[in-house]
């Protein structure tokens, strides 16, 4: 016997309709690409999304068609989130930091029909428009007529002009909640990027998940500023969740530097920040140089790569803002685990709190985790055994777009490529990416632990550890350090700092200084580039 509850599909359009009905006056504020701050509301975003949807229908966009964006976090991008998916079409958010070859690859692979772009990216749009064979039918500049870019693109349309020609009368269509809603390609640091296709159901469930108190706790009480880009994993689902709960949303546009973010936080009274460690490193450096504090900010969600202890301490002790360390992937929508304190941690000394906060956290309901050995046998959840992390759940990808078979899926589990430990409560700690782990004499050295230790050394601005081939040990660790400005740090000083903080055999065999670390399109250090750069390096020991 079935229950007698209403069979209403979980659709993204219901989130924006809810926002319009129940918190139409809550603000949506954008630092625009054109420059000024633009003030709007969820009510206006809802109306403009329907006008945009009417325009898309006239442009021939139908259920299942792909509409691409190359854009910052702005209100127009938000309108596309709701208009494209609301119609049952698929929003393909493209990372503008992809190389021109990867850009062309993802547009072809997705078979995008329309490309909406911020005027910052007009050159990328022109590269795409100049290609002789393409599925793209046209390009739309995400601006108003006054800021129409001078461009060679034939028949270029303008976002606001499209909207002005339309009415906001539209009833969002109803369809199966498993319908595809958006598409995001992993950055593809090796091989071609792979497309992850989200559904309405997965997106709405994930939105509920990130509003739970013991996760990211997105709330009506918050003023939320997602620095995490809307071109990467739907800005961690923040735009959908904020529409659902009625949080004031502040969108940083192209201003991701410390000064622009500080201004926005101060002007809008931001309480909740979300982003990757590289962005926060810049923000903290700016605040320190200006002698400023993050007055209104209560919590900072940090994920995307391991969050260093020094960063947690700077936010919590220096700025009185709670750090929520989270882990996820493009394939997991992205939130998989979140680190929040439990009652048993009450009264813990700060040093222990800090080492707990370095862990990636616990899965929320909906996500199941396990670790397995090289043969696929499950390992104990004892906080000690480390193995290949696997995940499953209704917002975890079951495969990749237009790709037969998958070497990352086994018996209903997705192999994350991360190496981690798990304890009985599900607390997960990543020791490495499987491709970054340093294999020395049959044992594993965690590059993350090495980096964390190095980052605590005075005078170290950033650091990366990676393995290089070694005739006797298979691999040995190398540490590459960027000195803090104005310091004269030496390799010996770093080495003596590390000695005693880790097992002797973990100590790097070499320490080199560089001007900057190579950073990939999603803000992560490109270890592969470092390994290539130092290939053939001869250890002196």
Show which residues are catalytic.
Answer: 186, 331, 439, 444
3-state class of 148 per DSSP?
A: coil
Least spacing, CB of residue 307 vs ligand ADP, in Å: 6
Q: Of the two residues 149 and 304, which places its CB atom closer to ligand ADP in the complex?
A: 304
In the list 430, 457, 464, 494, the residue contacting ligand ADP (rule: CB under 6 A) is 430
Is residue 403 packed enough to be buried (19+ CB in 10 Å), middle (13-18) or exposed (0-12)?
Answer: exposed
Q: Cα(107)–Cα(113) distance, rounded to whole angstroms? A: 9
Q: Of the two residues 90 and 301, which places its CB atom closer to ligand ADP in the complex?
A: 301
In the list 303, 366, 393, 467, the residue contacting ligand ADP (rule: CB under 6 A) is 303
Buried b (16+ CB within 10 A) or exposed e, 125-144: bbebbeeeebebebbbbbbb
Contact status: 280 vs ligand ADP (CB under 6 A)? no
Least spacing, CB of residue 430 vs ligand ADP, in Å: 4
Contact status: 304 vs ligand ADP (CB under 6 A)? yes
Tell me which residue has tokens 């990808």.
397
Q: For ligand ADP, which stretch binds (CB under 6 A), given 78-86, 246-254, 303-311, 402-410?
A: 303-311
Least spacing, CB of residue 501 vs ligand ADP, in Å: 20
* Number of other CB atoms surrounding residue 295 within 10 Å: 12
Q: Cα(137)–Cα(60) distance, rounded to whole angstroms? A: 10
Cβ atoms 128, 151 nearer than 8 A: no
How many chain residues touch ligand ADP (CB under 6 A)? 21
Pattern 332-371, ligand ADP, x by CB under 6 A: ----------------------------x-----------
In the list 13, 271, 330, 431, the residue contacting ligand ADP (rule: CB under 6 A) is 330
Pattern 185-214, ligand ADP, x by CB under 6 A: -xx---------------------------
Q: Which residues contact 35 (CB under 8 A, 6 or more apart)?
A: none
Pattern 156-185, ligand ADP, x by CB under 6 A: ------------------------------
Cβ atoms 239, 274 nearer than 8 A: no
In the list 160, 522, 525, 530, the residue contacting ligand ADP (rule: CB under 6 A) is 522
Q: Cα(407)–Cα(55) distance, rounded to whole angstroms? A: 41
HEC-encoded secondary structure of 360-421: CEEECCCCEEEEECCCCCECCCCCCCEEEEEEECCCCCCCCCCCCCCCCEECCEEEEEEEEE
Q: Cα(363)–Cα(332) distance, rounded to whole angstroms? A: 12
The tokens describing 511, both together, are 């320490």
Which parts of 369-428 interact with ligand ADP (CB under 6 A)?
A: 416-418
3-state class of 241 per DSSP?
A: helix
Q: Of the two residues 67 and 329, which places its CB atom closer to ligand ADP in the complex?
A: 329
In the list 433, 470, 476, 527, the residue contacting ligand ADP (rule: CB under 6 A) is 433
Contact status: 447 vs ligand ADP (CB under 6 A)? no
DSSP 316: I
Rg for the chain (alpha carbons), in Å?
Answer: 23
Q: Which residues lie across from 158 on neighbouring strands?
A: 141
Least spacing, CB of residue 305 vs ligand ADP, in Å: 5
Q: Of the two residues 88 and 195, which places its CB atom closer to ligand ADP in the complex?
A: 195
Q: For ligand ADP, which stretch binds (CB under 6 A), given 203-211, 281-289, 320-328, 465-473?
A: 320-328
Q: Of the two residues 418 and 509, which places its CB atom closer to ligand ADP in the complex?
A: 418
Q: Of the two residues 122 and 397, which places its CB atom closer to ligand ADP in the complex?
A: 397
Cβ atoms 9, 178 nearer than 8 A: no
Q: Which residues contact 160 (CB under 8 A, 6 or more apart)?
A: 143, 144, 145
Distances (CA, A) of 161 to 70, 157, 261, 451: 19, 8, 30, 50
Least spacing, CB of residue 114 vs ligand ADP, in Å: 24
Pattern 463-502, ligand ADP, x by CB under 6 A: ----------------------------------------
Where do runs of H (alpha helix) occur along 197-345?
200-211, 233-236, 238-245, 258-268, 277-290, 309-313
Q: For ligand ADP, which stretch binds (CB under 6 A), given 20-28, 260-268, 328-336, 462-470?
A: 328-336
Q: Of the two residues 392 and 483, which places its CB atom closer to ligand ADP in the complex?
A: 392
Phi first, then psi: what are they for 323, rounded to 5°?
-90, 130
Nearest to 342 by CA among 278, 423, 413: 423
Contacts to ligand ADP by CB under 6 A = 186-187, 303-307, 325-330, 360, 416-418, 430, 433, 522, 524
């Amino acid at each position: 016997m079935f229950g007698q509850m209403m069979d209403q599909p979980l659709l993204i359009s219901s989130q924006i309709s809810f926002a319009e009905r129940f918190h139409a006056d809550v603000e949506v504020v954008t630092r625009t690409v054109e420059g000024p701050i633009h003030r709007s509301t969820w009510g206006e975003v809802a109306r403009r999304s329907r006008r945009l949807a009417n325009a898309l229908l006239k442009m021939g966009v139908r259920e299942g068609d792909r509409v691409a964006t190359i854009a910052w976090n702005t209100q127009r991008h938000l309108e596309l989130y709701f208009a494209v998916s609301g119609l049952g079409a698929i929003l393909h958010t493209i990372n503008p930091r992809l190389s021109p070859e990867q850009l062309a690859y993802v547009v072809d692979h997705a078979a995008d029909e329309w490309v909406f772009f911020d005027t910052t990216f007009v050159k990328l749009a022109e590269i795409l428009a100049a290609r002789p064979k393409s599925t793209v039918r046209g390009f739309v500049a995400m601006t108003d007529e006054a800021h129409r870019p001078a461009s060679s693109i034939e028949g270029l349309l303008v976002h606001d002009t499209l909207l002005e020609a339309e009415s906001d009368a539209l009833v969002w269509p109803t369809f199966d909640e498993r319908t595809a809603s958006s598409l995001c390609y992993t950055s593809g640091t090796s091989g071609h990027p792979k497309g992850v296709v989200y559904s309405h159901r997965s997106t709405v469930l994930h939105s509920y998940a990130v509003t739970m108190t013991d996760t990211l706790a997105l709330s009506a009480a918050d003023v939320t500023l997602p620095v995490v880009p809307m071109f990467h994993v739907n800005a961690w689902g923040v735009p959908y969740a904020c529409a659902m709960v009625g949080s004031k949303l502040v969108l940083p546009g192209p201003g991701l530097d410390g000064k622009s973010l500080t201004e926005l936080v101060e002007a809008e009274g931001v309480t909740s920040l979300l982003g990757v460690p590289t962005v926060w490193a810049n923000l903290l450096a700016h605040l320190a140089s200006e002698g400023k504090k993050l007055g209104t900010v209560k919590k900072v969600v940090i994920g995307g790569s391991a969050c260093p202890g020094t960063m947690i301490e700077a936010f919590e002790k220096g700025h009185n803002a709670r750090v929520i360390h989270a882990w996820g992937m493009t394939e997991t929508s992205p939130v998989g685990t979140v680190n929040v304190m439990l009652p048993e941690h009450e009264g813990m000394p700060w040093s222990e709190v800090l080492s707990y906060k370095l862990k990636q956290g616990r899965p929320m309901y909906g996500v199941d985790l396990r670790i397995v050995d090289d043969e696929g046998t499950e390992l104990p959840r004892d906080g000690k055994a480390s193995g290949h992390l696997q995940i499953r759940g209704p917002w975890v990808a079951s495969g990749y777009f237009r790709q037969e078979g998958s070497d990352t899926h086994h018996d209903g589990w997705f192999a994350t490529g991360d190496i981690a430990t798990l304890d009985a409560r599900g607390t997960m700690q990543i020791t490495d990416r499987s491709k970054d782990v340093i294999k020395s004499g049959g044992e594993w050295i965690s590059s993350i632990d090495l980096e964390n230790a190095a980052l605590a050394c005075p005078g170290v601005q950033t650091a990366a550890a990676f393995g290089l081939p070694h005739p006797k040990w298979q691999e040995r660790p190398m540490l590459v350090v960027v000195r803090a400005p104005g310091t004269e740090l030496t390799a010996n000083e770093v080495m003596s700092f590390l000695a005693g903080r880790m097992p002797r055999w973990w100590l790097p065999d070499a320490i080199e200084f560089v001007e900057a670390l190579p950073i990939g399109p999603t803000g992560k250090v490109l270890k592969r580039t470092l390994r290539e750069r130092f290939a053939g390096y001869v250890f002196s020991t």
